[in-house]
Amino acid sequence: MSEEEEFQLIESDVHPLDGYLREGRIPHIFCPACSLGSVMNIIVEAIKEAKLENKKVSVVSGIGCTGRISGYLNYDSFHTTHGRAIPFAIGLGVTDPERKVIVISGDGDLFAIGGNHFIHAARRNADITVICVNNFNYGMTGGQVGPTSYKGQYQSTAPYGAVEEPFNLPDLAASCGAVYVARWSALDVRRMKDSFTEALLKKGFTFVEVLGSCPTTFGRRNQLAEGKKILEYFHEKSEIQHGADTKTVGISKDSKIIVGKFIDIEDKPTLTDNLMAVQRMSKAKGK
Amino acid sequence: MSEEEEFQLIESDVHPLDGYLREGRIPHIFCPACSLGSVMNIIVEAIKEAKLENKKVSVVSGIGCTGRISGYLNYDSFHTTHGRAIPFAIGLGVTDPERKVIVISGDGDLFAIGGNHFIHAARRNADITVICVNNFNYGMTGGQVGPTSYKGQYQSTAPYGAVEEPFNLPDLAASCGAVYVARWSALDVRRMKDSFTEALLKKGFTFVEVLGSCPTTFGRRNQLAEGKKILEYFHEKSEIQHGADTKTVGISKDSKIIVGKFIDIEDKPTLTDNLMAVQRMSKAKGK
Amino acid sequence: MSKKNEDSPEVATGQHYTTGNHAAAEGSLAAGCKFFGGYPITPSSEIAEHMALRLPKINGNFVQFEDEIASIAGILGASWGGVKSMTATSGPGYSLMVENIGLGLMTETPCVIVNVQRGGPSTGLPTLIGQQDVMQARWGSHGDYETIAISPSNVQECFDLALECFNLSEQYRLPVTLLMDEVIGHMSERLVIPPKEELTIISRKKPTDPPDKHLPYKADDSLVPPMATAGEGYRVMVTGLTHDERGYPDLTPEAQDKAVRRINDKIRLNKDKIIKLEEYMLDDAKTAIVSFGTSARAAKGAVNRARKKGIKVGLLRLITLWPFPDEKIDQLADQVDRIIIPEINYGQVTREVERAAHGKTEVKGDFRLGGAIHTPQEILKEIERN
Amino acid sequence: MSKKNEDSPEVATGQHYTTGNHAAAEGSLAAGCKFFGGYPITPSSEIAEHMALRLPKINGNFVQFEDEIASIAGILGASWGGVKSMTATSGPGYSLMVENIGLGLMTETPCVIVNVQRGGPSTGLPTLIGQQDVMQARWGSHGDYETIAISPSNVQECFDLALECFNLSEQYRLPVTLLMDEVIGHMSERLVIPPKEELTIISRKKPTDPPDKHLPYKADDSLVPPMATAGEGYRVMVTGLTHDERGYPDLTPEAQDKAVRRINDKIRLNKDKIIKLEEYMLDDAKTAIVSFGTSARAAKGAVNRARKKGIKVGLLRLITLWPFPDEKIDQLADQVDRIIIPEINYGQVTREVERAAHGKTEVKGDFRLGGAIHTPQEILKEIERN
Amino acid sequence: MSRVEVRFAGFGGQGIGLMGRLLGEAVALGEGKNSVMTQSYGPESRGGASSADVVIDTDDIDFPKATDLDYFVVMSQEAYSKYIPKLKKGGIIFVEEDLVTLDEHADKAKKIFKIPATKIAESLGSRLYANIAMLGFLCANTDDIVSEESLLKVMKTKIKARYVEKNLVAFQKGKEHQ
Amino acid sequence: MSRVEVRFAGFGGQGIGLMGRLLGEAVALGEGKNSVMTQSYGPESRGGASSADVVIDTDDIDFPKATDLDYFVVMSQEAYSKYIPKLKKGGIIFVEEDLVTLDEHADKAKKIFKIPATKIAESLGSRLYANIAMLGFLCANTDDIVSEESLLKVMKTKIKARYVEKNLVAFQKGKEHQ
Amino acid sequence: MNTSLDRRRKKPEWPAFIDLSKYKIKAHHVHIIKERCKECEWCIIYCPEEILEKSDKINVKGYHPPQLIEGKTFDDCAECHFCELICPEFAIYVEVPEEEEGSENNE
Amino acid sequence: MNTSLDRRRKKPEWPAFIDLSKYKIKAHHVHIIKERCKECEWCIIYCPEEILEKSDKINVKGYHPPQLIEGKTFDDCAECHFCELICPEFAIYVEVPEEEEGSENNE
Ligand SMILES: Cc1ncc(C[n+]2csc(CCOP(=O)(O)OP(=O)(O)O)c2C)c(N)n1
Ligand SMILES: Cc1ncc(C[n+]2csc(CCOP(=O)(O)OP(=O)(O)O)c2C)c(N)n1
Ligand code: SF4
Ligand code: SF4
Ligand code: SF4
Ligand code: SF4
Ligand code: SF4
Ligand code: SF4
Ligand SMILES: [Mg+2]
Ligand SMILES: [Mg+2]
């Protein structure tokens, strides 16, 4: 049998997106059946779709498995410290209002150690697109419980099951003032791409939560040891409810998972707008 | 004329509450017509009213004018670092479920540098009563803008007027899971006392926002240079709306100020309940 | 590792084969730790994980906080609540903790912080060894303080010295750092935990005077004041501001001198009681190796090999890194022709040795910048170079 | 202070009577600072306040962040955005910044951090002087690094050295600390700002090779790589992980050695170019005073008084604290019988002098623990004691 | 000319720092002499004691704080008790007479000038002008510190426009007080 | 007995660390010898190369890492290329034959044992048993490291109850592989 | 001195922050610790019975503590304790004599 | 090998996450970079046309990359790119020949 007959698919060495990834960095470090690779893939597609000028795009991450994404992407990319992607991104962003700054990081990074920066950035309506891959735990450090772990979830630091109420991320974002809020599971690749694209094209603080599959450190402890089981779970539980009241979209064990675009507000002045206004005022007033 | 005739009020050297204050620490350092003294007064009255055992009460503060309150009160008192009163209080609290831990601190302390601890403590439903005196600025350091400053407010670091959206504190608390949320202005002393008392008697994360008068660093820059003007302002603008949807209670320049008790939820397991549950489970499971 | 002894479930008496991280956790439990507040970070996370498993069973509490700042604040709070408390982290987390370690030092709050060192600076080498946080353990927080930091070289010591950290912390009333490294933390070896009765466990001195007479920051000759904690009726007043003996803020140079001098002197003047060293074949040595942690194992290997070749070399292993054993080094400088310091950093202990040797002997660092440890052969080469 | 010169509004050319804090702000503006990210803290807040007033007028941005961690992260981001950036704080805030200062060091990000020192540890003496953060400026963050810290002694120097900090930061690509103290920060004196043309302003070296050939972390003999920033088409890759010349994470001991050695050596090997000292009446001195910041003023007063009495004493004023002038001290140790170090701490620079003097002369610290400064009379007494 | 040391002292809220800054700048920019102004703050800038030192010299000023006061301008009892020991023998005291009661320590002064600065200020509508009234009083009764001209010039640039006028009146009233 | 050094190597997810831990504990608690087990991790514990060293000695073990491998147990090509230079001349290689192609460096080995551990494991339902199959294979073909008895004892206590049985089968299959 | 009275005129009805009917009126004393007062005037402005005013006397910090308006007596006090609760300086408080008799001369 | 097919049977209708009607069907190639595949099976399970299955071959890491189910051809592919978008390894992609002609031998 020839190769072709055995595998039937056409063998290749390169992928059409390879040019958008840093040379020599694929294979990435993500585990088999981890959705981070997919999310990375979709981010690139969305940047293409949004027709952003490549050199005007910066990608900023904190630390974590998700945080590694920035380093694979062939844009200006910044892998900062744990939890600090957002303030770094704000500093980076204000130096050039034309720059589109994307923050991509994990639930622990953005909402445990980084929670304060998130709520303040949303309040200020900073001009950044924040993508959080919520895999319900700290993947990078081996699977500890986190602020999005649902009650009853087992993790290395919750050997008897998590007991705390998790954050409802879309609601937190909304109540702090985000102008765009959406959530998709790792399976909703095409809708995710649309949301990323919309978020990128919008001014101000835009937020997309992606429910990611982490078979290694989340799944293994929660009867979802394979990536395909997690996707199946998302598939079964998801329900699209565009415009849902964010108060109602909290996730708990075995509950429905509400996905969709929840918030899309127009014309709220952004941090950049405000800083420009201050510059104008300062020149007007002879202080 | 005799003294009595001149002053007519009966002169005294001691106040009935002096015993609840640390010996030799009055006069306090607060400015004339600063409401922090009143709040301190009311906290003591509320502790009395709630009939808490004095030695089971701990008061924890961060740094700021408001943060100085703990140090005047004659309970176990802890004046920690800027922004860290809440996690300190959590550690202190879990060591004895009978202990009532009160956190009293300023808007900057609790919501600028300390914002993350606040949202997480609310999420965990930690057993603490958090009182925030929101004086719309950083009093202690001389009047910088803060996350509760309203748009158009002048402060030393907002010489052209504040431009950012402020936090709506009751809404932030509510959306993170606080079981009791109320707001009063410094003028509402009696209702404040009732709210403090209710909050103290409730388990879980309870939050009262007090709109304070800071004539020195806030008032002076905003045409409210005297404490009495600020109280007058509160008096004019306040409207009691118990049970108001917290989304609607944001404060902006010259807007109505909605005060009242907004949230009072029953029977939500608290951090202490949860930790006890873990202890039980750990003993059940032979892990 | 599971508990072996039903009577004192906090002490896992028996023989184990386990990692340095687990041993440190067990040592802490044996010392009486009842509260762990932490935030995961490689290569320390197994300490948190083990505590999460073990603490609830002995009516202790494990809280995973939202970050390292909350963790250190939380354990200070718990200590004032009257229980022994700890956290564990690595460089980046320790950096975040330094402000509140300062609060612990100023308010004289016993607690233990484990730093399992990885390569730095910054995120550096998250999974690989470093010994680059030695100076940070001493100088990381602003202001003047003295502190204690201890460095184990094997799994058994992780247990023994974790317990010792609690003892010192309670005795001298300060946050004590157990300065491990990634290799020790992740290495598995045999660990023998004695029965509880055989352990020496020290707890904070309590006041004996009645609340209305008590001055919480008044110390006797030991320079360490007894510690009343919350709920005991003493109405403690704790502040990171400069304070007088009552604990009241006193923002004067005089109060500052008194308060800050004492918290420094209680360590400076008790150095001899605190410092632990291992001396190995030093008696007739003409060359001394000074080392610590994992590096000291390679150093011992090198000494063994060199002695076989007849070279007069010995090892001074610093178990206590801070307070630094100035006098011992000064003495050694009188004795030997050369001091070699193999360390996995760019010259931290070497600097201190240089200072304490007062120019009396040659001081030579043998540095690795992180990620790998010296081999005995490499150190031997350094010994033989001349 | 208002701008005087319409052509270069960032330089407030002219004569002023102002504080050290305002002078430091003006020095930064003159150096080209266009972004301030900060969080208020006594006694540094006036720097932020002045920047809030001045920056918008020159198309710069002032962002008051939610805390010090966000502030330092923000200014690193701004620096990679291509502008000169800074923050200002005091001890507690600096403690919170150390983790991300480490990120700046590892990623070689130019920026300036002002620490107006107050008394510590912890909250300590918020409104009163300390010089207790000298060692923290060098060792506060985890991991191995070298850094630059500079200490002004008067208001004019606050301007001059703030500008110098930016120059060094841009030239050597690292966060540089301007280590002021409360007295200098709040003191008012005459300040003369020259016209822009008379100022030397250095900016980061830019790459000259095309993006596809560019290796962002490959340095020439200067050990400092040119810096491409965001938006220039170089697709920079910046990480706090150990990285190779491409900026890619490379978690091996070899990459660690190369990367960390270079960021240390770029300072170690350029020490002589970086270090600034003031020597005052040292030529024939038998006693040397080594001091810095506000203390150096009292020390100069003491030298003047002692000289009047015929005592051969001189002053070495450390303008640069880090890198430490080891060679100069070693030399001085050969010359003098005694070195006295008046400092407002419990012996930080004294330790370094002790190390660098190699036992060749008597080294004696004259410590104040914070809140007050030495008087010339007190130092004179120390000089006369023997 | 040799070193002259002036200390202003009172409590937070009296504008002690402003007095120091005005004098310091008037000297340094108006009189061609050197001056250093330092302040000592209470707990993070409010309440309690407050003081400001101005050291004046034609030479370089090494030590920036006042240690032997040539002039002691005092506006609260607490400040008086705290700092009176620092008065140089033969120094001069300016005192807010309603708020400070002198004691035997004041005997070492060569001269004592008294003024009810707060009352004067209140008569102008706010006790906040007391500091400037005192400054006028100081200016009128000394000759080796600063000229009225230099002081007035600085006041006009350094005081917020809307308060300048009232302050000039306060200054005048202070100057005229006997 | 003198020092014996064993290195297990492969990629993240193959359970390399577990092999080391089981062997280390079996030696230290079962055989009365000393053993130190160290691991080398990839980026924060996943992906890429993974290795575990077990050093065995009757004496104290100073240096904890393996530098001259007596036994090299290798389960990925990357690991083979990386570590083969460390094999002692006359050392022994155990190799997962489907995942590793040997080259001339292997010539210095005294002996080479090959096993399709992954295939064996897959035949039991999951490639995750490959490590234990390899361990059985190692145990069967060495005599100076550890006894089967000690290893089995440790496996029963250290492997999660629900996986023990399958692993024992894998061990057996490995042991029996020729 | 009329300032406080002028201010008071601007106020709408009292019940917005204090419900007078709750407090029964009886004889008692209003005490002042005059050195503590910092003249915020809150007790004066918000006393529902409008019985207080600023005095002319100054205390050691230069402040004018409150006094009874001429013609008012303790009997006019509603014993609502509002002044006591709101005083930020712990300077004013109301004490009800244990027994009605003899309350006038308990000094 | 039937695993993936079994799985697929559990699924409800496809439109929940992909709308087939959007993609016009035409001849094109599905490419595989086999050493990158880590056998997550997502392309297999969620291919709306159900044309993929695990192969028996293992790659260097021991994984089984996907192959066409026997009997299926590229003509069965809907060109929806779903496999391409979801593949976390950048291992599979779909390429539409620029011109219909000659598409079979572009290797
Ligand atoms: C200051 C600091 N604390 C802790 C860590 C360790 N750490 C690295 S990633 C991480 C959490 C990762 O979780 P998440 O952000 O959810 O990312 P994931 O790996 O799950 O994608 C932690 C705690 C660190 N690097 N720095
Ligand atoms: C880490 C740290 N950063 C900054 C400060 C300085 N600081 C002290 S209090 C304060 C803000 C006070 O504002 P708020 O909490 O609103 O209290 P207020 O004084 O207004 O009552 C600041 C920024 C500090 N003490 N520590
Ligand atoms: S640990 Fe989880 S999140 Fe991290 S790479 Fe593996 S599967 Fe993905
Ligand atoms: S500054 Fe403001 S908050 Fe602080 S004491 Fe003064 S008035 Fe009160
Ligand atoms: S208690 Fe006070 S406020 Fe109430 S009526 Fe009497 S004096 Fe007025
Ligand atoms: S409320 Fe208190 S401080 Fe204010 S005026 Fe009345 S007595 Fe004085
Ligand atoms: S593009 Fe991929 S997923 Fe879509 S039908 Fe073709 S093979 Fe299936
Ligand atoms: S989606 Fe990619 S990695 Fe997963 S099985 Fe298909 S080709 Fe392999
Ligand atoms: Mg995660
Ligand atoms: Mg405030």
Residue of A115, A161, A277 lying closest to B163 (CB–CB)? A277
On average, the pLDDT of chain G sits at 74
Is residue A135 within 6 Å of ligand 3 at its C-beta? yes
pLDDT confidence of G3, banded at 50, 70, 90?
very low
Provide, for chain D, the percentages of residues in helix, strand and coil under a 3-state DSSP scheme, each rounded to the nearest 5: 40, 25, 40
Q: Which helix (H) or strand (E) holds A120?
A: helix A115-124
Residue ranges, chain B, pLDDT below 50: 1-7
What does the block give as tokens for C33? 């730790």
Residue of B58, B77, B91 lying closest to C76 (CB–CB)? B91
E120 DSSP 8-state letter: H
Provide, for chain C, the percentages of residues in helix, strand and coil under a 3-state DSSP scheme, each rounded to the nearest 5: 40, 25, 35
* DSSP code string of A179-201: SEEEEEETT-HHHHHHHHHHHHH
Q: C192 — phi, psi (to 5°)?
A: -115, 120
Residue ID of nearest Cα to ligand 8 atom 6 = H43
Amino acid at F155: M
Rounded to the nearest angstrom, the distance between the alpha carbon of H83 and the centre of ligand 7 is: 5
What does the block give as tokens for H4? 């993936």
Task: Read off the pLDDT of each residue in G10-23 and give the average, rounded to a whole number.
Answer: 41
> Which architecture characterizes domain D3-198 according to CATH?
3-Layer(aba) Sandwich (3.40)
Judged against a pLDDT cut of 90, whether residue E1 lies above it is answered with no
Give residue-wise pLDDT tens across range B25-52.
999 999 999 999 999 999 999 999 999 9
Give the domain ranges of chain C: 3-198, 279-384
pLDDT confidence of E48, banded at 50, 70, 90?
confident
| Cα of E43 to nearest chain C Cα, Å | 7
Give residue-wise pLDDT tens across range E49-77.
789 999 999 999 999 999 999 999 999 99
| Cα of B115 to nearest chain G Cα, Å | 28
Judged against a pLDDT cut of 70, whether residue F42 lies above it is answered with no
Residue G62 to residue E77, Cβ atoms within 8 A = no
What is the per-residue pLDDT for G28?
Answer: 66
pLDDT confidence of H61, banded at 50, 70, 90?
confident
Answer whether residue H14 is part of any domain.
no
Is residue A106 within 6 Å of ligand 3 at its C-beta? no
Judged against a pLDDT cut of 50, whether residue G64 lies above it is answered with yes
Give residue-wise pLDDT tens across range A146-173.
999 999 999 999 999 999 999 999 999 9
| Cα of A265 to nearest chain F Cα, Å | 39
Judged against a pLDDT cut of 50, whether residue H8 lies above it is answered with no
pLDDT confidence of C295, banded at 50, 70, 90?
very high
Return the minimum-mean-pLDDT range out of A7-21, C132-146, C188-202, D131-145.
Answer: A7-21
Is residue G94 within 6 Å of ligand 5 at its C-beta? yes
Decide: A135 and A115 in contact? Cβ < 8 Å. Answer: no
Q: A193 — phi, psi (to 5°)?
A: -60, -40
On average, the pLDDT of chain F sits at 92
Q: A274 — phi, psi (to 5°)?
A: -65, -40
Amino acid at B157: T
Closest atom of ligand 5 to G43 CA is: 3
What is the per-residue pLDDT for H12?
Answer: 32
Rounded to the nearest angstrom, the distance between the alpha carbon of B240 and the centre of ligand 6 is: 26
Q: Which chains touch G (3 or more CB pairs under 8 A)?
A: B, E
Residues with CB under 6 A from ligand 8: H 37-43, 65-66, 87, 89, 91-92
Of chain A residues 119-148, which have a CB less than 8 A from chain C?
A: 138, 140-142, 144-145, 147
Give residue-wise pLDDT tens across range D84-129.
999 999 999 999 999 999 999 999 999 999 999 999 999 999 999 9
What does the block give as tokens for G90? 């712990």
Decide: B213 and B36 in contact? Cβ < 8 Å. Answer: no
A contact test, residue of C49, C69, C186 with most A CBs within 10 A: C49
Q: Are strands A57-61 and H52-54 parallel, antiparallel or unpaired?
A: unpaired
Task: Read off the pLDDT of each residue in C270-285 and give the average, rounded to a whole number.
Answer: 98
Percent share of chain D, pLDDT over 90? 97
* DSSP code string of D192-238: EE--GGGS----PPPP-S-TTT--TT---TTS------TTSSS--EE
* E157-160 CB contacts, 8 Å cutoff, 24+ apart: E158/E18, E158/E21, E158/E22, E158/E25, E159/E18
What is the per-residue pLDDT for D224?
Answer: 98
Q: Which chains touch H (3 or more CB pairs under 8 A)?
A: A, F
Is residue A65 within 6 Å of ligand 1 at its C-beta? yes
What is the per-residue pLDDT for H29?
Answer: 87
As for the ipTM of the complex, it is 0.95
> Which architecture characterizes domain D279-384 according to CATH?
3-Layer(aba) Sandwich (3.40)
Q: Which ligand is nearest to the CA of B141?
A: 2
Judged against a pLDDT cut of 90, whether residue E33 lies above it is answered with yes
Distance CA A274, CA B151 (A): 11
Q: Which helix (H) or strand (E) holds E61?
A: none
On average, the pLDDT of chain D sits at 97
B215 preceded by a cis bond (ω within 30 of 0)? no
Give the domain ranges of chain B: 14-286
Best probe residue, ligand 1, of A63, A211, A216 (max atoms within 8 Å of C-beta): A63
CATH topology of domain B14-286: Rossmann fold (3.40.50)
What is the per-residue pLDDT for G1?
Answer: 34
Answer whether residue H3 is part of any domain.
no
Task: Read off the pLDDT of each residue in D28-37 and give the average, rounded to a whole number.
Answer: 98
Q: State the alpha helices, DSSP H only, in chain C.
A: 20-31, 45-54, 68-80, 91-107, 134-139, 155-172, 182-186, 253-268, 271-274, 293-308, 326-335, 349-357, 376-384
Structural domain range at position E43: 4-176
Of chain D residues 213-252, which have a CB less than 8 A from chain E?
A: none
Q: How many structural domains are present in chain F?
A: 1
Return the minimum-mean-pLDDT range out of D41-55, D76-90, E83-97, H58-72.
Answer: H58-72
* CB crowding D129-141: b at 16 or more within 10 Å, else e: bbbbbbbbbbbbb
Q: Which helix (H) or strand (E) holds A76?
A: strand A76-79
Give residue-wise pLDDT tens across range B94-128.
999 999 999 999 999 999 999 999 999 999 999 99
Residue of A82, A140, A159 lying closest to C53 (CB–CB)? A159
A8: left (phi over 0), alpha (psi -120 to 50) or beta: left
Give residue-wise pLDDT tens across range D272-320.
999 999 999 999 999 999 999 999 999 999 999 999 999 999 999 999 9
Decide: D339 and D315 in contact? Cβ < 8 Å. Answer: no
Decide: D169 and C157 in contact? Cβ < 8 Å. Answer: no
How many inter-chain contacts (B to G, CB under 8 Å) are there? 117
Is residue G44 within 6 Å of ligand 5 at its C-beta? no
Q: Which chains touch C (3 or more CB pairs under 8 A)?
A: A, B, D, E, F
Rounded to the nearest angstrom, the distance between the alpha carbon of A36 and the centre of ligand 7 is: 20
What is the per-residue pLDDT for B285?
Answer: 64
Give residue-wise pLDDT tens across range E155-169.
999 998 889 999 999
Answer whether residue G35 is part of any domain.
yes
By C-alpha distance, which of F58, F141, F56, F157 is closest to F94? F141
Answer whether residue H89 is part of any domain.
yes
Judged against a pLDDT cut of 70, whether residue C303 lies above it is answered with yes
* Chain F residues whose beta carbon lies within 8 Å of the beta carbon of residue D249: 43
* The model scores a pTM over 0.80: yes
D226 preceded by a cis bond (ω within 30 of 0)? no
What is the per-residue pLDDT for G95?
Answer: 87
pLDDT tens across the length of chain A (287 residues): 344 444 489 999 999 999 999 999 999 999 999 999 999 999 999 999 999 999 999 999 999 999 999 999 999 999 999 999 999 999 999 999 999 999 999 999 999 999 999 999 999 999 999 999 999 999 999 999 999 999 999 999 999 999 999 999 999 999 999 999 999 999 999 999 999 999 999 999 999 999 999 999 999 999 999 999 999 999 999 999 999 999 999 999 989 999 999 999 999 999 999 999 999 999 986 55
What is the per-residue pLDDT for E44?
Answer: 45
* Chain D residues whose beta carbon lies within 8 Å of the beta carbon of residue A127: none
What is the per-residue pLDDT for F49?
Answer: 79
Rounded to the nearest angstrom, the distance between the alpha carbon of E160 and the centre of ligand 4 is: 22
Q: How many structural domains are present in chain G?
A: 1
Q: Is D30 exposed, middle or buried (0-12, 13-18, 19+ CB in 10 A)?
A: buried
Amino acid at A3: E
Rounded to the nearest angstrom, the distance between the alpha carbon of B119 and the centre of ligand 2 is: 19
Distance CA E145, CA E142 (A): 7
Structural domain range at position H47: 25-95
A14 touches chain H (CB under 8 A): yes
Residue of C42, C62, C67 lying closest to A113 (CB–CB)? C67
Is residue A211 within 6 Å of ligand 3 at its C-beta? no
What is the per-residue pLDDT for C7?
Answer: 63
